[in-house]
Amino acid sequence: MLQSFFNSKKTISLSLFFFLLFSSFLFLSCNTEYKTTLKKAEQLLKEKKYSEAKIYFTKAFKLNNKEKYPQGKIKEIEKLLTKINDSIYLKNITDADVFFNNKEYKKAKQAYTKATQLKPDEEYSKTMIDEINQEINTQNKNNLNNTDTHKYQIIAGSYRIESGAKRAKIEFLKTYEETKIITSRWNGNFLVSITSFSTIHKAYNFLEKNRSLFNQEIWVYRK
């Protein structure tokens, strides 16, 4: 019976020994992985790859949640990412506003869309996208109308410099309310259109009846 007791005690001691040995090995293994992960996180942070660095600091924290250092770095990176995000958002909004004011609606919409993706809760960029969509729809309708009913323009002047066309437009507006400036697709000149018609027949009828009223040559131009 005494022999059995000693054998039992020996077995417990061996089990405890192996348990402690295994625990030590596991600790060393985790500690090595922690240090490797932390080193990788530090390198990524140094390279300003903040999102990737945050992932590795998070892994390191999970490996050793008693260490405060990884958690501190995670908070630091989150502040940096927020600051960068704000800066990019502001740049997109600034660019978009410039494009919008210049009536470059496609570019403006792209920039406002990027801003919305960065800050989905901000209403300004969403409102501007809606406004651009309305403006584009209006332009498309106007283009359709021009294509369908105003193909044939009566041109009363062609100018290389826009200021000359503008002066002529002011004079013609006194008589022809539809007077506008269009750009020639042939040479890029600024053309002064005093009226327009849906058919070439109507346009030439106008020419025949009114040609004598003009001191300069007038002609039909198809848009």
CATH of the domain at 196: 3.30.70.1070
User: 123 and 184, same structural domain?
Assistant: no
User: 138 and 105, same structural domain?
Assistant: yes
Q: At which of 144, 163, 180 does a domain end? A: 144
User: 154 and 210, same structural domain?
Assistant: yes
Q: Looking at the domain assignment, is residue 13 inside a domain?
A: no
pLDDT for 85? 87
Amino acid identity for residue 82 in this structure: T
pLDDT for 96? 93
Burial track 87-103 (b if 16+ CB lie within 10 A, e otherwise)? eebeebbebbeebbeee
State how many domains the chain has.
2
Q: Looking at the domain assignment, is residue 193 inside a domain?
A: yes
pLDDT for 187? 92
- For the chain, residues with pLDDT lower than 70 are 1-30, 142-150
Q: Looking at the domain assignment, is residue 56 inside a domain?
A: no
- Among residues 195, 201, 198, which one has the least CA distance to residue 218? 195
**pTM score above 0.75:** no
Residue 119: partners with Cβ closer than 8 Å, 6 or more residues away: 85, 89, 125
Q: Looking at the domain assignment, is residue 17 inside a domain?
A: no
Query: The domain containing residue 178 runs over which residues?
Result: 150-222
